[in-house]
Structure 1
Amino acid sequence: MTQLKPFSVLVSLSILALAGCGTQSPAQADSVAPKAAISPATSPSNLATAVFAGGCFWCMEKPFDEIQGVVATTSGYTGGTLANPTYEQVGRGGTGHFEAVKITYDPAKVSYQKLLDTYWRQVDPFDAFGQFCDKGETYLPAIFYANETEKKAAEAAREVLFARFKKPIVVQILPAKAFYDAEGYHQDYYQKNPLRYAYYRNGCGRDARLRAVWGQ
């Protein structure tokens, strides 16, 4: 592959950071097989899953990957009406899908409550229009519950945050729907493309806003 000059790299990455989550050059896009719908509850018998939306799914994998007991994280689309959506279809709007992350975890090693606590600190709970620099229905924050226990835990946490901040918490709490894995080039993006990921995350102002809301 032709090596870009350092200045060209910086310009390209700066453009990527401003363009929004999911932007990539044609050379980055993988050829992937058609995706199958996967229920958030589907997993080996000793594992469970949790599904959260918090803006760009690139930025939602890493915090959960770092938790002991999390087996895998998968970027994808959920909450919509179109089966087997592509990134382009979701990005155009109208499908009702959120960019989301599915966390597969071992309940014997980590609780759903721990995952929920981690989720809240990855989002701006007051932004009803998207998350950070990404705006629109695709980037709205939401918790997708698979059962009444998860629903009650999410609702209780939202009430605690409302009492703490004394302002509306706009994160939606919704019943789980079919989850569709995103294209291959989106998976583990922070590991595959660390420089592009860092420039995007910084350019989007994600960490600065999270510090402003949650502190260090």
Structure 2
Amino acid sequence: MTKPVLYDYFRSSAAYRVRIALNLKGIDYESVPVNLAEGAQKEAGYRARNPQGFVPMLEMEGQRLTQSLAIIDWLDATVPEPRLVPADPADRAHAMALALAIASDIHPLNNLRVLKYLGGPLGQDEETRNAWYAHWIAEGFAALEMLAAARASRFLFGDAPGIADVCLVPQMFNARRFAVPLDDFPTLLRADAEACQLGAFAAAHPDKVASVGAAR
């Protein structure tokens, strides 16, 4: 069986989610770096594989899969254990709401192409861009804290890591990179700390991925 190939960038939070999911599923994969900072995602060879020119992209079992949550959904359907999205409809809706509060409401406003547009065509300086970044994380985390707090357990939802934690941990990494204060989000901090103790999360950390890539 051909080893799955993940087209990846170490600091992409969307790619970080998929690395965590693959690790939780126990799937060994090959990582192919796509340097977003240098514009490699726009090169013709990559765009031929992924017309959106984003990461992650996963090639597995003859499929060419894009969009992190779609990839995770496919992994849950094809490698059922451990489940990352609950089977119960009400629990599934809650877990997906937590995940989408990050993946749809926070992350798109703060990804690299948005920051580059703010700093390029819109002429915003670094201080202004950082303030933009911090604002959307703080606003999004405030809502997420309220949404999660009532039903959180060891992890953001339940006693085992799931899709909400897979989305949370990369976003917490981003928040710390930009020195966003986090003391007002105790539920998020607790879930993040629990998840980061697990090998599947630790092995997917950008610092770990960058160091492995540098050693190759």
Q: Normalised by the shorter chain, which TM-score bucket?
A: under 0.3
TM-score by length of 2: 0.26
TM-score by length of 1: 0.26
More helix per residue: 1 or 2? 2
More strand per residue: 1 or 2? 1
Q: Indicate the structure whose relative CO is greater, using CA pairs within 8 Å and at least 6 residues apart.
A: 1
